[in-house]
Structure 1
Amino acid sequence: MIRLKTTLTAAAVAAGLLAGTGSAAADPVEAESAQRGGLSRYYDQRLDWAACGHEQLDAAGAQCANVTVPLDYQRPRGRTITVAVSRLKAADPARRRGIMLSNPGGPGGAGLDMMLRVQGWMSPDVRARYDLIGMDPRGIGRSSPVDCKWSVGPMLRSAGVDRAGFDRVVALESDLAKRCAEREGDRLPHITTRNTARDMDVVRGAMGEQRVSYFGWSYGTYLGAVYTQMFPQRTDRFVLDSAVDPRKYGLGMFQDLGAPNEAALDLWAEWTARHDAEYHLGTTAKQVRAGVEELIRRSARTPIRVGDYTVDDNFVPIALFGPLSDPRAYPLLAGQVRELTDAADGKGAPPSPELEQALRFMFGPGAHQDGDGQAAVLCGDVRYQRDPESYWRDIQRSRATQPVFGAFANNITACAFWAQPKERPTVVHNNRPALIVQATGDTRTAYQHGVALHKAMTGSRLVTLKDVPVHAVFGNYPNTCTENVVNTYFADGTLPARDLTCQDDAR
Structure 2
Amino acid sequence: MTTLSPALRRASAAGLALAAACLTASPTPATATARPTAGHERAAATAGHAQGAGLDRYYRQRPVWGSCVQGPGDRTGHDLAKAGVRCADVTVPLDYADPRGRTITVAVSRLKATDTRHRIGSILLNNGGPGGPALESPPDIRTAMKEAGPRYDIIGFDPRFVGRSTPLDCHWPVGTSVLAAGLGRDSFERQVALQKGLADKCRATNAPVLPYISTRNTARDMDVIRGVLGERKISYLGYSYGTYLGTVYTQMFPGRFDRTVLDGALAPDDYNPRLLRGAEPENERALSAWAAWAARRDGTYGLGRSRAAVLATVHRIVVASGRGPLTVGTAPHAFRLDDTQVPSLLVAGIADDTARQRNTLAEQLSVLARAAAGRPTRLSPEFTVVLRGMLTGDDAKSPAAQSAIICGDKPAPRDPERYWRDIERHRARHPLFGPLTRNIGPCAFWDRPREAPTTVHRDAPALIVAATGDPRATYRSSRALHALLPSSKLVTLKGAHRHGLYGEYGNACVDGEVNRYLATGKLPENDRTCVKRAD
Query: Given the two structures, how large is their TM-score scaled by the length of structure 1?
Result: 0.93
Q: Does 1:120 align with 2:143?
A: yes
Letter of the 2:343 counterpart: P
Q: Name the counterpart of 1:180.
A: 202
Give the aligned partner of residue 189 of structure 1.
Answer: 211
Tell me how far apart the structure 1 counterparts of residues 379 and 11 of structure 2 sit (CA, whole Å): 17
Whole-angstrom CA distance in 1 between matches of 2:421 and 2:49: 44
SS at match of 2:182: coil
Specify the alignment match of 2:406 in structure 1.
Answer: 378
In the other structure, the counterpart of 2:15 is 9
- The more displaced of 496-505 and 213-222 is 496-505
Distance 1:32 1:209 in 2: 12
User: Which digits, 9 at most, give the CA deviation of each residue in 1:208-231, with x for residues without a partner?
Assistant: 110000001000000000000000
Displacement of 1:458 after TM fit? 1.7
Identity of aligned residues (%): 48
The CA deviation string for residues 403-446 of structure 1, in whole angstroms up to 9 with x for no partner, is 21111111110000000000000002322210000000001111
Q: Report the equivalent of 1:79.
A: 102
The 5 Å alignment of 1:208-219 reads 208-219=230-241
State the match for 1:147 in structure 2: 169
Q: Is the 8 A contact 1:433 1:460 kept in 2?
A: yes
Counterpart in the other structure of 1:427:
455
8 Å Cα contact 2:14-2:402 kept in structure 1:
no
Map Cα deviations across residues 267-305 of structure 1 (whole Å, 9 max, x no partner): 111111111111111111111111111111101112011
Within the candidate set 332, 340, 360, 1:314 is matched to 340
Are 1:105 and 1:218, in contact at CA under 8 Å, matched by a contact in 2? yes
1:48 maps to: 64
Local SS of the residue matching 1:202? helix
User: Shift of residue 111 of structure 1?
Assistant: 1.0
Gaps of 5+ in 2: 2-7, 19-46, 70-76
Deviating more after overlay: 483-492 vs 88-97? 88-97
Query: Are 2:517 and 1:489 aligned?
Result: yes
Determine helix, strand or coil for the equivalent of 2:255.
helix
Q: State the one-letter code of the partner of 1:238.
A: T
| 1:322 match: secondary structure | helix
Q: TM-score, normalised by structure 2?
A: 0.88
Which amino acid in the other structure matches residue 441 of structure 2? Answer: T
Of stretches 476-485 and 364-373 in structure 1, the one that deviates more from structure 2 is 364-373
Provide the C-alpha distance between the structure 1 equivalents of 2:506 and 2:151, rounded to a whole number of angstroms. 23
The corresponding residue for 1:401 is 429
Q: What secondary structure, in the 3-state scheme, does the structure 2 residue paired with 1:233 have?
A: coil
* Structure 1: distance between partners of 2:51 and 2:159: 26
Aligned pair 1:326/2:352, yes or no? yes
**CA distance in 2 between partners of 1:160 and 1:391 (Å):** 13
* CA-CA distance at 1:475 after TM superposition: 1.7
**What residue in structure 2 maps to residue 416 of structure 1?**
444
The Cα of 1:33 is off from its aligned counterpart by: 8.4
Matching residue of 1:232: 254
Q: Determine if contact 1:3/1:105 at 8 Å carries over to the other structure.
A: no
Q: Say which SS state the counterpart of residue 50 (structure 2) adopts.
A: helix
Deviation for aligned residue 1:186: 0.8
How big is each residue's C-alpha offset from its partner over 1:160-194, in whole Å with a ceiling of 9 and x where there is no partner? Answer: 11111111111000000000111001101101000
Q: In 2, Cα distance between the equivalents of 1:333 and 1:485? A: 31
Paired amino acid for 1:472: G
Deviation at 1:34, TM superposition (A): 2.6
Within 5 A, what are the aligned runs for 1:208-357?
A: 208-251=230-273, 253-307=275-329, 308-328=334-354, 329-357=357-385
The Cα shift of 1:253 comes to 3.2
- Determine if the alignment matches structure 1 residue 95 to structure 2 residue 101: no
Asked if 1 retains the 8 angstrom alpha-carbon contact of 2:145 and 2:515, the reply is yes
Aligned residues of 2:133 and 2:157 also touching (Cα < 8 A): yes
- Counterpart CA distance in 2 for 1:3 and 1:108 is 13
Contact 1:4 1:154 in 2 (8 A): no
Q: Kindly tell me the number of residue pairs found equivalent between the two proteins.
A: 488
1:17 aligned residue: none
Change (3 A) 1:442 1:35: closer
> CA RMSD, aligned part only?
1.9
Please give the alpha-carbon distance, in whole angstroms, between the structure 2 residues aligned to 1:239 and 1:460: 10
Indicate which of 363, 366, 373 corresponds to 2:394.
Answer: 366
**Residue 478 (1) aligns with residue 478 (2):** no
- Preserved CA contact (<8 Å) 1:3 1:106: no
Distance (Å, rounded) in 1 between the aligned partners of 2:60 and 2:16:
36
Q: Secondary structure at the match of 1:232?
A: coil
Does structure 1 conserve the Cα–Cα contact (< 8 Å) formed by 2:173 and 2:396? yes
**1 CA distance for matches of 2:424 and 2:271?**
22
Alpha-carbon offset, residue 90 of structure 1:
0.9
C-alpha distance in structure 1 between counterparts of 2:93 and 2:184, whole Å: 46
Structure 1 residues 164, 8: CA separation in 2 closer, same or farther (over 3 Å shift)?
Answer: farther
Structure 1 residue matching 2:245: 3-state secondary structure: helix
* Structure 1: stretches of 5+ with no match in the other structure: 13-30
What code does the residue aligned with 1:83 have?
V
C-alpha spacing 1:11/1:495, structure 2 compared with 1 (3 Å): farther
Deviation at 1:247, TM superposition (A): 1.4
CA distance in 1, matches of 2:459, 2:12: 36
Residues 4 and 155 (structure 1), Cα distance of their counterparts in 2 relative to 1, 3 Å cut:
farther
Q: 1:25 maps to which residue?
A: none
Q: Counterparts of 1:216 and 1:256 in 2: how far apart (Å)?
A: 23
Q: Please give the secondary structure, in 2, of the residue aligned with 1:36.
A: coil
2-side partners of 1:116 and 1:390: how far apart? 46
Structure with higher RCO (Cα < 8 A, 6+ apart): 1
> Is 2:477 aligned against 1:455?
no
SS in 2 for 1:238: strand
Say which is worse superposed, 496-505 or 344-353, in terms of deviation: 344-353
How far apart in 1 are the matches of 2:273 and 2:392?
Answer: 26
CA-CA distance at 1:7 after TM superposition: 5.5
Q: What letter matches 1:63 in structure 2?
A: R
Distance 1:32 1:98 in 2: 19
Aligned to 2:92: 69
Task: Tell me the distance in 1 between the aligned counterparts of 2:265 and 2:91.
Answer: 29
Q: How many angstroms apart in 2 are the aligned matches of 1:465 and 1:370?
A: 30
How far apart are 1:358 and its partner, in Å? 1.2
- Secondary structure of residue in 2 paired with 1:51: coil
1:39 corresponds in structure 2 to: 55
1:390 aligns with 2:413: no
Bigger mean CA deviation after superposition, 300-309 or 70-79: 300-309
The answer on whether the counterparts of 1:65 and 1:86 sit within 8 Å (CA) in structure 2 is yes
Q: Are the structure 2 counterparts of residues 5 and 115 from structure 1 closer, same or farther at C-alpha, using a change threshold of 3 Å?
A: same
Task: Tell whether the 8 Å contact from 1:428 to 1:456 is kept in structure 2 after alignment.
Answer: yes
Shift of 1:345: 2.4
Q: Secondary structure at the match of 1:325?
A: coil
Q: Distance in 1 between matches of 2:91 and 2:471?
A: 36
Any conservation in 1 of the 2:321–2:338 contact (CA below 8 Å)? yes
For 1:26, the equivalent position in structure 2 comes to none
Q: Confirm whether residue 466 of structure 1 aligns to residue 482 of structure 2.
A: no
